[in-house]
Amino acid sequence: MYSIGIDSGSVATKGVLFDGEKIVKKIIIPTGWSPKTTSKQVYEILSEDIDKSKIKKIVGTGYGRISMDFVNKKVTEITCHTKGIHFLNKNIRTILDVGGQDSKVINLDNDGNISNFIMNDKCAAGTGRFLEITSNILGSDIEGIDNLAKDSEPVNISSMCTVFAESEIVSLLAKNVSKEKIASGILKSIANKSTAMLNRGEIVDEIAFTGGLAKSKVLVSMVEESLGKNLFIAQDTQIVGALGAAVIGFK
């Protein structure tokens, strides 16, 4: 038997085929203009090689879940991230999740249930969208920002508003500040925002960092240095929500 979890985010749609013990198949594709179409495409790819009668449930999560008319259940991304991380590491009690458009700090109990959370969804400050826009000014992308920032002293970028940060970066480039220092400064500003959010919430025991930005080794290192403790990083940080949805669907 199987379950399928689909996490439709603002930037990417993630899917997991789960057999109750492990991830059988996973996929990440750009969400594009139609979350409904992309989510259905993810389902088709995940289920193409199996007997569909053996799928217990399809669970949708993420901001695009409302458009998924083919799923059996829709669950919030906060619940799904909690269940996904708890499946991967039973010791985690705090989750920092930085997605494309919002950031969250979630606390969970011994059974993997939510005990508390705070969420920043008022603006794109410190999110994947912020990094995407600011790195584009440097002629880079999210994947390449680590190479630019590695071993470089961060220049101070004071504004966390995406629009003002763009202007600040253009001004720094005009002053011949190196792209490497600016890239490091961009990641440092996100690290500061993430750490401040963790401190506004409740840091309990071990912390997991999830979402696409957790793939940045430089950013992870900066957050760890600021907190003075190591973070748990899943093998694929982007699929944690989809995994949690699949875990819920298998029960």
**pLDDT tens-digit readout, 207-240:** 999 998 999 999 999 999 999 999 999 999 999 9
Q: Which CATH code fits 1-89+239-251?
A: 3.30.420.40
- Looking at the predicted structure, is the pLDDT value of residue 87 above 90? yes
The full set of domain ranges for the chain reads 1-89+239-251, 93-233
Architecture per CATH, domain 93-233, reads as 2-Layer Sandwich (3.30)
**Residue 121 pLDDT:** 62
The reported pTM is 0.92
The pLDDT confidence band at residue 126, using thresholds 50, 70 and 90, is: confident
> Identical fold at 1-89+239-251 and 93-233?
yes
**pLDDT tens-digit readout, 154-209:** 999 988 788 888 999 999 999 999 999 999 999 999 999 999 999 998 898 999 99
The pLDDT confidence band at residue 127, using thresholds 50, 70 and 90, is: confident
- Give one DSSP letter per residue of the chain, joined into a string: -EEEEEEE-SSEEEEEEE-SSSEEEEEEEE-TT-HHHHHHHHHHHHHTTS-GGGEEEEEEESGGGGG-TT-SEE--HHHHHHHHHHHH-TTEEEEEEE-SS-EEEEEE-TTS-EEEEEEE-SS-TTSHHHHHHHHHHTT--TTTHHHHHTT-PPPP----SHHHHHHHHHHHHHTT--HHHHHHHHHHHHHHHHHHHHHHS---SEEEEESGGGG-HHHHHHHHHHHTS-EE--SSGGGHHHHHHHHHHH-
